Amino acid sequence: GLMFFCILFSYTILRDTKDVLMITAPKSGAEVIPFIKTYVNLPTAIGFTAVYSKLCDKLDQKNVFYACTVPFLLFFALFATSIYPNIGFLHPHAFVDAIASHLPAGFSAPLAIVRNWSYAIFYVMAEMWGSVVTSLLFWGFANEVTTVDEAKKYYPLFGMGANVALIFSGQYVKWVSMMRENLAPGIDPWGVSLKYLMGAVVASGGLMLSTFAWMQKNVLTDPNCVDQEKRAQKQKKKRVKMGLRESAKFLMKSPYIRDLATLVISYGMCINIVEVSWKAKLKQAYPDPNAYSSFMGNFSSATGAVTLVMMLLGRSIFQKFGWRKAALVTPTMIGVTGLGFFALNIFAPTFVPVAAALGTTPLMLAVLVGAAQNILSKSSKYSLFDPCKEMAYIPLDQDSKTKGKAAVDVIGNPLGKSGGSLIQQALIFGVGSLAVATPYLAAILGVLIFFWFKAANSLAGQFEEAMEME
């Protein structure tokens, strides 16, 4: 629980910071997100999976955890202390301006990535923290020391402390945003705030690594906590060495892993399709970085509070209705709220009287409905989707667990986001803008939800069968 608290405390700060940096950067905006997720994030994730597969073959799981986590913390410390203070020298604005003068306006988003390349790297490292440290390393470790019966009882509660972290980290981001307003003239406010934010990330990461080391020493060696005979058998088992291509072939032969990947890819595509449109509205409402960051801090705290409630409900849902129904809650939530957000954008003139009656504007109403959509989607993900996904790995053999998990989490997650991004890019080039593409995005969201439901039902049958065989 403490490890998950630290990991999500850091991730919330990183997630809020990456958006503020990239979206409010010079000559940038929300439209860069589809490009960065496709052309920077996805290749990085694929490269990491190849490296991770090699690390798994050469190191034990404990050292793999350290080898993957420490470089992240070093980068975030370096970014705040060395890279950001020198962006005037490092970012090639004049060079990109010269190129931009010879290219159509449609190239402004990819050029913004080149123009603000260090922010783009930070964005990808923050995204990778979510998929590598949270999904792959933490849950992989949790699955190693937990039985299915324990998982059903404790996985929904694992996140209780973690979502208190969302509330704390959201308010910390807001506090840092407000502190910037009181700085003396001539001091770079973002330079100061980044040191505070990244200092908190590194400190939290250090506490997480200390907790992991303590558990390795005191918990995994305790026969009352972990079955030593089973653990020894797992460690003695010869690992099958496979390259990335062989791993992909091995996984694609398994309908079980394929359905798991469909769940992760569907979530990534659905959330990306709605989120980018929402962030475009958010930048219109809050063009100032301080105001944007402050809003995101409150948003993260609200996500944590709602998720805490969902966690309590999640435990009851697992116990009363089982894995299948729990797995269908998240696609239902995203489908209903996502289509509601798009309806508000498509039929905006119809909602003008409603906005006026509420004492706000259609733009702010869209921002708030989009925020509610995002909060409900993320809370159902943390409380139900993630525990469902992790439970599904438990009946698998060790090789499918480690390499299957690496492929599903580290490639599947960015592939989902990149798939959503490619759809948006195609629509932007086809119809001119995200705003005009909204009806098409709503239709695509509906199709994705259908396939998500289909894969979840298929996986539920296989999971129940695998549990009976154990």
Instruction: Look at residue 183 and give its three-state secondary structure.
Output: coil
Residues 371, 383: Cα–Cα separation, whole Å = 18
Contact 259, 412 (CB under 8 A): no
104-133: per-residue pLDDT in tens? 766 777 888 888 898 999 999 998 888 888
Band of pLDDT at residue 239, cut at 50, 70 and 90: very low
Token pair, residue 21, equals: 């940096």
Is the confidence at residue 6, as pLDDT, over 80?
A: yes
Q: Residue type at 321?
A: F
pTM to 2 decimals?
0.75
Question: Domain ranges in the chain?
Answer: 2-469
Among residues 119, 154, 163, the alpha carbon closest in space to that of 25 is found at 119
Token pair, residue 267, equals: 């979530």
Percent share of the chain, pLDDT over 90: 15
CA dihedral 300, 302, 305, 311 (to 10 degrees): -70
Q: How many CB atoms lie within 10 A of CB 464?
A: 13
Query: What is the overall mean pLDDT for the chain?
Result: 81
pLDDT at 430: 76
Mean pLDDT along residues 247-274: 82
Chain CA centroid to CA 282, Å: 19
Token pair, residue 420, equals: 């959503």
Phi-psi region of 242 (alpha: psi -120 to 50; beta: other; left: phi over 0): beta
* Correct CATH for 2-469 of 3.30.465.10, 1.20.1250.20, 2.60.40.10, 3.40.50.10800: 1.20.1250.20
**Residue bearing the bigger pLDDT, 399 or 224:** 399
Is the confidence at residue 349, as pLDDT, over 70?
A: yes
pLDDT at 237: 44
Mean pLDDT along residues 437-455: 92
CA dihedral 352, 355, 360, 364 (to 10 degrees): -80
DSSP 8-state symbol, 86 = G
14-49: per-residue pLDDT in tens? 988 888 888 887 777 777 888 888 888 878 888 888
CA dihedral 47, 134, 418, 119 (to 10 degrees): -80
Among residues 260, 205, 198, the alpha carbon closest in space to that of 390 is found at 260
pLDDT at 79: 92
pLDDT at 241: 47
